[in-house]
């Protein structure tokens, strides 16, 4: 049986490797490196809302959106069946759940994301480069 930390590492690596050949991989990697500080300073909800606000996905005509991709990757991790917000697999529904649920779940989710992010940053540097 795999541990939660092994699951975190596997998910973080998979999501980094999906972008390994993408031309905008360095941009994504630089956003990943900054996200931890944003979570610590502002909290999970505001950091996710900022990624969503900076997302160009809605008006980019299907072009790659590094902020949107990062928000989506956060949502799929925290919204996994065994996660703190099961079934909330997109940034908008995750934000709604964050605002609707109690603080203890929020703190668990924030700690979980920070541990996932530690792995994801390492894999982004390994597979995508250091970014800016």
Q: Is residue 93 part of a domain?
A: yes
- Percent of the chain whose pLDDT exceeds 70: 92
Q: Is residue 36 part of a domain?
A: yes
Show the domain range for 45: 25-55+63-128
Position 132 pLDDT exceeds 60: no
Q: Give how many domains the chain has, as a whole number.
A: 1
Find, among 69, 75, 79, 76, the residue nearest to 29 by Cα. Answer: 69
What pTM did the predictor assign?
A: 0.90
Q: Is residue 17 part of a domain?
A: no
Lowest mean pLDDT among 50-59, 69-78, 110-119: 50-59
Q: Is residue 13 part of a domain?
A: no
Cα(17)–Cα(116) distance, integer angstroms: 15
CATH number assigned to the domain comprising residue 33: 1.10.520.30
């Amino acid at each position: 049986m795999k541990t939660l930390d092994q699951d975190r590492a596997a998910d973080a690596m998979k999501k980094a490797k999906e972008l390994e050949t993408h031309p905008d991989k360095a941009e994504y990697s630089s956003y990943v490196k900054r996200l931890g500080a944003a979570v610590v300073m502002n909290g999970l909800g505001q950091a996710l809302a900022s990624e969503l606000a900076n997302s160009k996905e809605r008006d980019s005509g299907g072009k790659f959106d590094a902020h949107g991709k990062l928000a989506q990757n956060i949502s799929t991790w925290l919204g996994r069946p065994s996660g703190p917000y099961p079934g909330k697999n997109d940034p908008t529904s995750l934000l709604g759940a964050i605002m609707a649920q109690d603080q203890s779940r929020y703190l668990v989710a924030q700690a979980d994301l920070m541990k996932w992010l530690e792995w994801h940053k390492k894999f982004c540097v390994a597979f995508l480069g250091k970014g800016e």
